[in-house]
Amino acid sequence: MNSVKDGQKFNIDGSGCIIRELFNQENSNLNWLSAADMRITDGASPLMGSDKEEVLLANLGQAAEVVVAGTQYELKHYDMLYIPVGASWQAVKNSEDDVHLYVYRALGEEVYEPYHARYEECIKDEERIRYLERKVVYKMFDVSENANKFMVGYTFYEDRTRAYPPHNHTDQEEVYSFIEGRGAMEVYEDEKNKTFVRSVETGDHITIPVLNYHPVFSHDEPLCFIWCIAGERYWVGDKNKDFMDASVDKLTT
């Protein structure tokens, strides 16, 4: 039997995996956080991993298989997966559905265990849910899980809703990734220097450097975004209760 395998021809137009860098430290005004968009229509991604970054995958598709250092994880819609510094990983299309992942990366040194955050479990776990006026927050990857800098979750707005009070952070940077609906967002140092006001819709990512206020507004339809934090590990409403009852006009954590 002939053991010599045939060569194959490839062209970028027929690629089954496309990875697009969304932003990194060079273009985002962030110090630690980067993100990419990965889509797989056939086959698998390259073997990935870094000894300087931890990774957080958010599954925007219906299903995805991710193999981390030989262990297989089956991600359902809106599941997330934390991958530690130095771990090799690969995403694979294992169903009829295309794979669509947001790949968040944060600089780090300490090595922790992988963690599969299951969306269907999170939305039933009252410990991970925070209810605000006309909006709800799901903390998918929280301080109860180990990481260097990451925290991440979902926020769902009803229609005609705004973030209040506006808040900023002295020790966290963020990105908001909009995945459902459309609305608007501001990112500004103070009221006098409010120069960033943008409409946002599904597929937009807004970076939030340290000490910027960052309110979101929904319009005539519900709105959902992923919030991904790099920095000190806390959620604003857990650290400052004034955020929960909106008893101040603005706050800093």
63 contacts: CB under 8 Å, gap ≥ 6? 74, 75, 76, 77, 94, 95, 97, 99
| Predicted local distance difference test score (pLDDT) of residue 1 | 64
Tell me how many degrees the CA angle 25-31-33 measures, rounded to the nearest 5: 70
Q: By the 8 A CB rule, do 100 and 127 touch?
A: no
Query: Can you count the helices (H) and strands (E) in the chain?
Result: 3, 20
String of DSSP letters for 35-76: EEEEEESSSBPPPB--SSEEEEEEE-SSEEEEEETTEEEEEE
Over the stretch 10-26, which tens digit does the pLDDT of each residue have? 888 888 999 999 999 99
Q: Partners of 152 in the beta sheet?
A: 141, 228
Which of 65-69, 181-185, 200-204, 238-242 shows the lowest per-residue confidence on average (mean pLDDT)? 238-242
In this structure, the number of other CB atoms found within 10 A of the CB of residue 55 comes to 25
**Secondary element (H or E) of residue 121:** helix 119-122
| 57-66 mean pLDDT | 97
Quote the pTM value.
Answer: 0.94
Q: Residue 63 has which token pair?
A: 């299903």
Mean pLDDT across the stretch 23-41? 97
Query: pLDDT tens, 65-101?
Result: 999 999 999 999 999 999 999 999 999 998 999 999 9
User: What are the chain's domains?
Assistant: 12-117 (2.60.120.10), 120-252 (2.60.120.10)
Task: For residue 50, give Cα distances in angstroms to 106, 108, 171, 194.
Answer: 10, 10, 24, 37
